[in-house]
Structure 1
Amino acid sequence: MADEYQALLNNDTWRLMPKPPGANRHGIDYDETFSLSPVVKPVMIHAVLGIATSRQRPIHQLDVKNVFPHGHLEETIYCQQPPGFVDPSSTLLILTIPPSLRTWYQQFGTYTHQLGFIASATDTSLFVYRGATTYLLLYVDDIILTASSADLLQLLADRLHSEFAMTDLGDLHHFLGISVTRSSEGLFLSQRQYVLDLQRAGMAECHATSTLVDARAKLSATEGDPIVDPSEYRSLAGALQYLTLTCPDLAYAVQQACLFMHDPRKMHLALIKRILRYVKGSLFASLHIGTRRVDKPVAYSDANWVGCLDSHHSTLGFCVFLSNRLVSWSSKRAEAEYRVVAHVVAECCWLRQLLQELHVPLKVATVIYYDNVSAVYMAANPVHHRRTKHIEIDIHFIREKVALGEVRILHVPSQYQFADIMTKGLPVQMFQDFRYSLCIRSPDASTEGG
């Protein structure tokens, strides 16, 4: 803390003065406050890395130093001195440097626009350079930069460095806690160092398991005894949720564990420990991003009807592929099974818009596979039924996208429904087969297919 405080002093972050009367009155001096910077979505990272890998483009990472001094403060902001660092000569601080990540983002966006970048409409943390020759992803002070040539990448990196204090860390190898390994077969994303932090759960010596959840069991919010320390449960569940950035096979089990944050029971903690045992057994697995050309997107969607014992809600899941690479996945609760189709259609339409901005046009509709025959018929059949009034908006949305030729809803047999892994516990062999279909590999394993 002392070093950070000294850095703020060195940057002249504030001036000391007595508090003026009537300062900082809500509704007069200020109203809403927007202090955060947009952050890039995981699907955006997977899509951009997939395109760059398929085109054999260089990918660098840049680190910006001290983002807060950037930007211009338009208002006078008064605040109390922080406890433990109070200067008795005055009672109040006047900030002279913006305390907001939003001002940094605005300053960065203004400068990149001058260089020729355009902020994406689908995700404002993506900046596309002239003719899509360069993509830039921004996550606060971490940057991924990929260009059509090493010379262009270096030129733009130098121009960014001339305006902002930053370091070019070279080839992408570690971003947001994700380790990136590149080979002739593509990229491998993993969070191995993050996984190694099992000591705090007392699971370092545990025995590994090959599956995540019991295929027959369903959890309830009221069964079993409450655990003594709920904070430990919440901490572990949150840590496991972060692992789903590169471990789509964890999505369903972690989603189940996160449902009981408010009042976790012993049976819920047993699920957490089983997930940790599974994670230990898959320590060297990575999410593979292949080198095949980006052409057609394909999605799989499914719902486990009345998957919740307490609310009787369904569990929906989907996974979206670009060629042979997984770019988006989800496992969540929904009131109606048909709504899973609406969720995945919305995700696919968003992804199509993104690819258009990245100058990767799609000439064919996105095929969405679903194993519910009634839902497949409903997507194309204009007939209305009384029993579907509660999902009428979803039906109209899906039929519109089908009519526009953006998506096609097709039936798939359950044994090929990869999204099942996002909605329920599966038998060991089926779980392992579907896990492989989600592009989870070891760097030294064969990566063809998937």
Structure 2
Amino acid sequence: MTTRSMHGISKPKKPFQTNYFLGIAVHRHAGGLFLSQSTYASEILARAGMASCNPSATPVDTKQKLSSSSGNPCEDATLYQSLAGALQYLTFTRPDISYAVQQVCLHMHAPHTEHMLALKRVLRYVRGTLTYGLHLYPSPIAKLVSYTDADWGGCPDTRRSTSGYCVFLGDNLISWSSKRQPTLSRSSAEAEYRGVANVVSESCWLRNLLLELHFPLSQATLVQCDNFSAIYLSGNPVHHQRTNHIEMDIHFVRENVARGQARVIHVPTRHQIADIFTKGLPWVLFDDFHSSLSIISNMSSIGARSAEIYVMQKRQKEKMKMMEEERVRRGDVCAEEKKVATSSVGKTNKVHPACGKQVLPLDS
């Protein structure tokens, strides 16, 4: 090729960088990536006529959940359904509102005035956190860490439980869910174990996806649960007659534990991040878990140094949490708790919210 012909060849362009994709803004800075839907959230508020409303500290209160017959029928059901559907898409970068949106969407078929008030509270929370989004850090991808929790019998209409989980790849949140369980659980251990099975299934899918992307994981996925009975069931090879009706979930989890792909460990309730996906929390707890999910304000405007400090603080908090979990695994849990874990499989000492009576053992 001659020198003259080479003059006609254009210089290679810089790699393509996405700044806006399907309503999600991507901001790059020295501390990583910041994903935000602030523009989309502002459009939702304008559609609801709440662009200048007073903000709320949390998206949902800590009171009892709303039933399907709370209040009078909503005057504009179409507006309710439109706003609820729009909020569902907003959860792509705002996992902190997943539980509140899930509760609102349960009543889309026949919304009442109380349901509309709950939806407006979510919007007031969004109004006060418009600049918030999901932050992704430069982080090793050596392991998956997940948290799972369940709110037993929380639905006032069906008494079904709500399961919630979140999955971290390194320091980054990559998957989360808040969903009402399809069947009724007769004990808190059963509800918790169904939640464990759900997050193990999600972790298996993520491990296979990483394998296809040529990033196989050699370490087992850590599944952190705050229910001793569910942890005991995941590793105990002895079959219990009381667990026949959740036998498929039990064998699925045990098989993954035996293959070294998952390990179910205990996490103190104070550090159970998945609580934010199953129930309304007071502001102090909500704010703590909110930060643990890497949901923060736009860091591109506060500088790289502030981003680095935030990452260091986050990793220090995770280190302290892992040290506490290690003490539990070494046997620092009191003997009484271990006794309860081995003797209450399939049972519960709680009072069922539907009838106010103590729940019978599963084999009764």
Structure 1 residues 297 and 211, CA gap change in structure 2 (3 angstroms):
same
Q: In 1, are the aligned partners of 2:19 and 2:27 still within 8 Å (CA)?
A: yes
| Partner of residue 219, structure 2 | 364
Q: Could you say which residue in structure 2 is the equivalent of 1:403? A: 258
Provide closer, same or farther for how the CA distance between residues 262 and 408 of structure 1 changes in structure 2, counting only shifts above 3 A: same
**Higher helix content, 1 or 2:** 2
AA partner of residue 167 (structure 2):
V
Aligned partner of 1:92 in structure 2 is: none
| 1:251 aligned residue | 98
TM-score, normalising length: structure 1: 0.62
Q: Give the superposition deviation at 1:255.
A: 0.2
Amino acid corresponding to residue 382 of structure 1 in structure 2: P
Alpha-carbon deviation of 1:271?
0.7
Helix, strand or coil at the partner of 1:317? strand
Deviation, 1:385, is 2.2
**2:136–2:172: 8 Å Cα contact kept in structure 1?**
yes
User: Of the candidates 253, 271, 283, which is equivalent to residue 416 of structure 1?
Assistant: 271
- 1:319 aligned partner, one-letter code: C
**2:30 counterpart of 1:184:** yes
Q: Partner of 1:432: helix, strand, or coil? A: helix
Amino acid paired to 1:365: A
Higher RCO structure, 1 or 2 (CA under 8 Å, sep 6+)? 2
Render the CA deviation track for 1:224-260: whole Å, top value 9, x for unaligned.
1111111110000000000000000010000000000
Structure 2 matches for 1:165-180, cutoff 5 A?
170-180=16-26
Residue 225 to residue 352, structure 1, CA distance change in 2 (3 Å): same
Partner of 1:262: 109
Q: 1:109-120 maps to which residues of 2 (within 5 A)?
A: none
Question: Superposed, which structure 2 residues align to 1:47-446 within 5 Å?
Answer: 170-197=16-43, 198-334=45-181, 335=183, 336=185, 337=191, 338-442=193-297, 443=299, 444=302, 446=307
Distance between the aligned counterparts of 2:126 and 2:270, measured in 1?
25
Unaligned runs of 5+ in 2: 1-10, 186-190, 316-364
- Counterpart residue identity of residue 196, structure 1: S
Percent of aligned positions with the same letter in both sequences?
A: 53
Structure 1 alignment gaps of length 5 or more: 1-149, 155-169
Q: Please give the alpha-carbon distance, in whole angstroms, between the structure 2 residues aligned to 1:205 and 1:398.
A: 48
Shift in alpha-carbon separation, 1:184–1:348, aligned structure 2, 3 A: same
Q: Is the 8 A contact 2:70 2:115 kept in 1?
A: no
What is the letter of the counterpart of residue 228 of structure 1? E
Q: Structure 2: which amino acid aligns with 1:187?
A: L
Report what 1:51 is aligned to. Answer: none
More strand by share: 1
1: distance between equivalents of 2:142 and 2:156? 41
| Partners of 1:152 and 1:331 in 2: CA distance | 43
The 3 A distance-change label for structure 1 pair 151 and 423 is: farther
The answer on whether the counterparts of 2:142 and 2:170 sit within 8 Å (CA) in structure 1 is yes
Could you report, residue by residue, the CA deviation over 1:25-49 in whole angstroms, capped at 9, with x for unpaired residues? Answer: xxxxxxxxxxxxxxxxxxxxxxxxx
Aligned mates of 1:402, 1:204 — CA distance in 2? 49
Residue type matched to 2:40 in 1? Y
Distance 2:138 2:163 in 1: 30
Output one character per residue of 1:143-169: Cα deviation in whole Å (capped at 9) or x when no partner.
xxxxxxx97986xxxxxxxxxxxxxxx
Counterpart-to-counterpart distance in 1, 2:262 and 2:74: 46
Task: State how far apart, in whole Å, the 2-side matches of 1:387 and 1:243 are.
Answer: 41
| Count of aligned residue pairs for this structure pair | 286
Moved over 3 A (4+): 150-154
Structure 2-normalised TM-score?
Answer: 0.76
Distance 2:265 2:13 in 1: 43
Counterpart position of 2:340: none
Give the aligned residue type for 2:49: G
CA offsets 1:68-122 (integer angstroms, 9 cap, x no match)? xxxxxxxxxxxxxxxxxxxxxxxxxxxxxxxxxxxxxxxxxxxxxxxxxxxxxxx
